[in-house]
Chains A and B, each alone.
Chain A
Amino acid sequence: MASRRAAHLGAALVCAILVGCAGPTIRDSAVHSQAQKSADAMVSELRTVRLAVRGLQDDKLWWRYADRMVTDSEEAATTIEATFTSRQPPSQESKSAYDEVSKQLSDAADLVVSLRVAVRLHDEGEIRSLEPEIAKAADDLERLAERVAP
């Protein structure tokens, strides 16, 4: 009896954890919430690479370290974009937010990829030209996150 109760408790716990980890997007508010979190996460990655670039320009980091930081952010940015775009918006209302956020996440991820290429090539000119674009993308995404928040 006790072991059956323990088994039920265990099963309930596993279900709770699984439900807590991830789930399908079924409501508009869930899309908005996910959009806000994804945008915030992308802002974090963009500003991280910007700090790395600044460190590089100020001769406070070596190339290899900046490369590692940008590569880590590139992986994270790609994951953030893929995770968000894999969601299914349930209505037209949430689809417009979904489209807008997807577009900006995609552009941001592309910027980080371009930066990684430039850092690996030690292309200082390209890095300098990408830096303001990254700063602007981060600011735009930050505003978007506030706008789409549920």
Chain B
Amino acid sequence: MKKLLGVTLGILTAIGGFVDIGDLVTNALVGARFGLRLAWVVVVGIIGICVFAEMSGRIAAVAGRPTFDLIRERLGPRIGLLALFGSFFVTALTMCAELGGVALAIELGTDLNYLLFVPIVGFVVWIVIWRVAFQKMETAFGLFGLLLIVYVVAVVHASPDWSHLWDQAAQLDPGEESWPTYWYYAVALFGAAMTPYEVFFFSSGGVEEHWTKKDLIEERANVFIGFPLGGLLSLAIATMAALTFLPQGIQVDTIGQVALPVALELGKAGLVVVILGIFAATFGAALETALSTGYTIAQYLGWQWGKMVRPREAPQFHLLIILMILLGMMVLLTTVDPIKVTEYSVVFSALALPLTYFPILVVANDPDYLGDHVNKPWTNALGLVVLALVTLASVAALPLMIWTKAGQ
């Protein structure tokens, strides 16, 4: 019973923790411009993240070591450095976007400019990382993030023409937009669904929580049930944007617009829930990305690391996190638009994807680390297909960004 409760809690946490500022903004933006024509990308992205999150979680549970540690050891410092460079840059950019997302969520509930909240948010993120236990932190923000289910409630409440939505989702057609713009946003959605920090945080978290082979069932339940249900939230966000904005030719470029469809459907109560949900999702992701910046560098350089490890025993790891939070705050205080930072972060995420996922695939096939738990042939087949897509998205990201002037 206790085990079942633990698994259920893990799944609920995974659902609530799946959505971050990148998913919120990109899905709303894409829903408003394309309806559900790019829903297939979310589905492919979820399959991709499930395949690789399971691999990295398995590596953590069986080898007892985090992914980046093994990447450097297995592929050498040069390849490791390349993987580190791509992942770290994208994770730092994502963290900046998440901090901005938290500040914007607070702005929605108050009447004050979000810039006033940036230093406070940065400070509180640091305090939570420093003082709150790992599992409590994960569970609290994951469960709180479940409030975003309000998007699913809003879709059901709106009782849309399901056959029309299905027709829209089933066709490969850019609608009123051009093909390059369609593919640019396909790459952005893919990048949002497969953000590198998710796998590093997942595997490092597994090591922090001392996963063993016995925890593999829970790990797989989190990935194969929690992540797809989290992906359902992404689709619900896109659907509400499609229903509210697409017929009117409205483009989404503020966080207020992301929450508006729920308010128009469910009223003030829905608005309160969606703002709290956005706050929790972005705050949880800010914690995860801040920790991930520390994890990746510390694991590559062989420093002592871990949220559970006292700052005195892992000074470089904790100092790095503080510096990254400060850097994120400073970037935001230049008044750069957090929504624009988010839009660029998901595209750069797509650019860095192969650097993250190729090494994981290699390590997951090494019997020296995983023994009998190396990838099965079907996992490798799926992994290779996802890797091919990831490479394609990575190669196309920058040319599409230039061609479409970042999706204009």
Which A residues contact B (CB, under 8 angstroms)?
Answer: 13, 16-17, 20-21, 37, 40-41, 43-44, 47-48, 51-52, 54-55, 58-62, 64-65, 67-69, 72, 76, 142
Contact = CB atoms under 8 A, between A and B. Distances in A.
7 smallest CB-CB distances across A and B, nearest first, come from: A20-B402, A60-B267, A47-B248, A44-B251, A72-B254, A69-B256, A44-B250
Contacts of A55: 260, 263-264
B70 interface: no
Contact of B405 (A20, A58, A142): A20
A20 B403 CA distance: 7
13 contacts: A21-B405, A51-B244, A54-B264, A59-B268, A60-B266, A61-B263, A62-B268, A62-B271, A64-B110, A65-B108, A68-B108, A69-B254, A142-B249
A63 B266 CA distance: 16
Interface in B366-408: 398, 401-403, 405, 408
Contacts of B271: 60-62, 65
Chain B binding surface, main DSSP class: helix
B107 A51 contact: no
Contacts of A41: 251
Interface size of B as a range: 20 to 34
Contact of B249 (A16, A43, A61, A69): A43
Chain A binding surface, main DSSP class: helix
Interface string B250-292: 1101101100100110111001000000000000000000000
A67 B403 CA distance: 36
B403 to A, nearest CB: 8
A37 B407 CA distance: 12
B111 interface: yes
Nearest to A48: B250
B347 to A, nearest CB: 12
A61 B257 CA distance: 12
A51 B264 CA distance: 8
